């Protein structure tokens, strides 16, 4: 990175630093063949620390050799994580990097507690790189062209997205049904932080014979209110009725396979994945194969071309076929408040009879904490030899907290 692009990157970094919300922590890392930190560890967003960081950023030059991102991003992601400060990482680059697949893998492995956003500086930046970083990091990708007059707007927009409030530090206590649980996915501490307008899913499969009426509790940390919350939910097996499909069991098994592949212990990973794949008929790397038979004897017959007319299909109402359509910032503050909406699904299959749980005035889960509130509904699922419960919490936008708003472009002065 050199010339105009290093200047653009420094301008973007300075704007990031100046626009951080109060009570945040931040650090800046420059990288090439090696990497250097502005501070040894993340510091509070104070006037003194901000001024010190801005002075060091102005001295940045492209003197660190090639572009090696893995070591600095590994260092950042492996730093001790404080759930009271949801962590976001911004990666600014003007080209490509060595071994991008390794970088994508480690970002994806830590995306449950750290969101990674990417910025492409200039026309030479790899769009594949910035898009894949954002995809694996559950963040946003931004492209700043050479001489882009909207750079300030793009920086502010990305920072606003990263500074939304979050629910963190999830934990689930199954209480009376602890012995009935066969598996739960995901499990703490690998349950992803929940941000505004994002869905939240936890799948649990129970032994039907052991399942009893009772409650379970979800505890979490509310970074906007800066306090712990507890949601107490009810399970009532007496509300079981017939159902028609069993997609929730397949989804639970698929999530278990992916989660085990990502976080499972090496000595148990292969067996857990194989057992889940076979039992629930969900493909995995260990159960998906294809074969190719090669005939060694050449045929003496001449190849012929056969024309097969294909009838054009149109989707109709009664048709059987249808067409279907790197600045690191940690912030406990929020610009917008939000409350989750809860959607619960519970299903049981016993022998040849399929059953589901019906929703009555909010479904089988009730007694939710009034501090957050929610709404329950149920979906049909195919019967299985166990019970599966899916808890979903899509969040909902509420209002803007004006006192903690990011400054607009006109209030930000470039250095």
Residue 293 lies in a domain: no
Q: What is the pLDDT of residue 376?
A: 28
The answer to whether residues 30 and 172 belong to one domain is no
Q: What is the pLDDT of residue 150?
A: 86
Can you give the chain as a three-state secondary structure string?
A: CCCHHHHHHHHHHHHHHHCCCCCCEEEEEEECCCEEECCCCCEECCHHHHHHHHHHHHCCCCCCCCCCCHHHHHHHHCCCCCCCCCEEEEEEECCCCCCHHHHHHHHHHCCCCEEEEEEEECCCCCHHHHHHHHHHCCCCEEEECCCCCCHHHHHHHHHHHHCCCEEEEEEEECHHHHHHEEEEECCCCCCCCEECCCCCEEEEEEECCCCCCEEEEEEEEECCCCEEEEEEEEECHHHEEECCCCHHHHHHHHHHHHHHHHHCCHHHHHHHHHHHHHHHCCCCCCCCCCCCCCCCCCCCCCCCCCCCCCCCCCCCCCCCCCCCCCEEEECCCCCEEEEECCEEEEEEEECCEEEEECCCCCCCCCCCCCCCCCCCCCCCCCCCCEEEEEEECCEEEEEECHHHCCCCHHHCCCC
Which residues face 228 on adjacent strands?
A: 221
The answer to whether residues 370 and 271 belong to one domain is yes
Q: How many structural domains are present in the chain?
A: 2
**Domain assignment of residue 278, given as a range:** 167-283+332-400
Residues 364-393: tens digit of each pLDDT: 333 333 333 332 233 333 434 465 655 544
The answer to whether residues 64 and 197 belong to one domain is no
Residue 21 lies in a domain: yes
Residue 295 lies in a domain: no
Q: What is the pLDDT of residue 298?
A: 65
The answer to whether residues 172 and 248 belong to one domain is yes
| Low-confidence residues of the chain: pLDDT under 50 | 242-244, 313-329, 331-385, 392-415
Residues 143-197: tens digit of each pLDDT: 888 777 888 888 888 888 888 889 999 999 999 899 999 999 999 999 999 998 8
The answer to whether residues 109 and 213 belong to one domain is no
The answer to whether residues 92 and 151 belong to one domain is yes
Q: What is the pLDDT of residue 328?
A: 47
Q: What is the pLDDT of residue 121?
A: 86
Residue 309 lies in a domain: no
Residue 289 lies in a domain: no
Q: What is the pLDDT of residue 291?
A: 75
Q: Which of 109, 132, 163 is the last residue of a domain?
A: 163
The answer to whether residues 269 and 339 belong to one domain is yes
Q: What is the pLDDT of residue 346?
A: 36
The answer to whether residues 188 and 139 belong to one domain is no
The answer to whether residues 266 and 134 belong to one domain is no
- CA 228 – CA 291 distance, rounded (Å): 54
CATH number of domain containing 62: 3.40.50.410
Q: What is the pLDDT of residue 388?
A: 61
Going by C-alpha positions, the residue among 73, 404, 393, 15 that lies closest to residue 223 is 404
Residue 92 lies in a domain: yes
Q: What percent of the chain lies above the pLDDT cut of 90?
A: 33
The answer to whether residues 341 and 363 belong to one domain is yes
Residue 316 lies in a domain: no
The answer to whether residues 103 and 180 belong to one domain is no
Q: Which of 112, 129, 163 is the last residue of a domain?
A: 163
Q: What is the pLDDT of residue 248?
A: 80
Residue 108 lies in a domain: yes
The answer to whether residues 266 and 389 belong to one domain is yes
Q: Which of 163, 180, 205 is the last residue of a domain?
A: 163
């Amino acid at each position: 990175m050199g010339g105009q692009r290093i200047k653009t990157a420094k301008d973007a970094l300075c704007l990031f630093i100046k626009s951080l919300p109060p009570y945040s922590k931040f650090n800046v890392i420059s990288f090439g063949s090696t990497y250097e930190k502005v501070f040894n560890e993340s510091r509070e967003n104070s006037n003194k620390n901000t001024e010190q960081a801005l002075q060091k950023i102005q001295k940045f030059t492209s003197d660190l050799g090639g572009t090696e991102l893995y070591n600095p991003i590994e260092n950042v992601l492996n730093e001790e994580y404080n759930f009271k400060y949801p962590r976001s990482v911004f990666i600014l680059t003007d080209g490509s990097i060595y071994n991008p697949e390794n970088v994508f893998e480690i970002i994806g492995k830590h995306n449950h507690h750290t969101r990674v956003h990417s910025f492409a500086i200039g026309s030479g930046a790899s769009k594949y790189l910035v898009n894949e970083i954002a995809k694996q990091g559950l963040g946003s990708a931004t492209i700043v062209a050479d001489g882009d007059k909207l750079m300030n707007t793009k920086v502010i927009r990305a920072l606003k997205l990263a500074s939304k409030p979050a629910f963190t530090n999830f934990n689930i206590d199954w209480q009376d049904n602890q012995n009935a649980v066969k598996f739960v996915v995901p499990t703490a501490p690998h349950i992803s932080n929940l941000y505004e307008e994002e869905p939240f899913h936890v799948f649990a499969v129970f032994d039907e014979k052991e399942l009893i009426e009772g409650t379970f509790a979800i505890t979490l940390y509310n970074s906007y209110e800066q306090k712990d919350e507890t949601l107490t939910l009810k399970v009532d097996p007496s509300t079981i009725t017939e159902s028609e499909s069993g997609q929730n069991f397949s989804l639970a098994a698929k999530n278990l396979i992916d989660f085990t592949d990502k976080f499972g212990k090496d000595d148990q990973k292969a067996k857990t994945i194989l057992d889940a794949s076979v039992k629930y008929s969900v493909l995995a790397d260990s159960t998906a194969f294809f074969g190719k038979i090669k005939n060694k004897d050449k045929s003496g017959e001449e190849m012929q071309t056969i024309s097969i007319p294909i009838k054009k299909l149109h989707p109709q109402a009664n048709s059987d076929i249808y067409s279907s359509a790197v600045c690191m910032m940690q912030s406990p503050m929020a610009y917008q408040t939000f409350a989750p909406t809860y959607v619960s699904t519970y299903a049981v299959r016993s022998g040849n009879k399929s059953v589901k749980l019906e929703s009555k005035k909010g479904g089988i889960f009730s007694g939710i904490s009034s501090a957050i509130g929610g709404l329950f509904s149920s979906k049909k699922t195919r019967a299985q030899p166990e019970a599966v419960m899916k808890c979903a919490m899509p969040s909902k936008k509420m209002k803007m907290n004006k006192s903690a708003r990011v400054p607009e472009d006109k209030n930000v002065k470039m250095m």
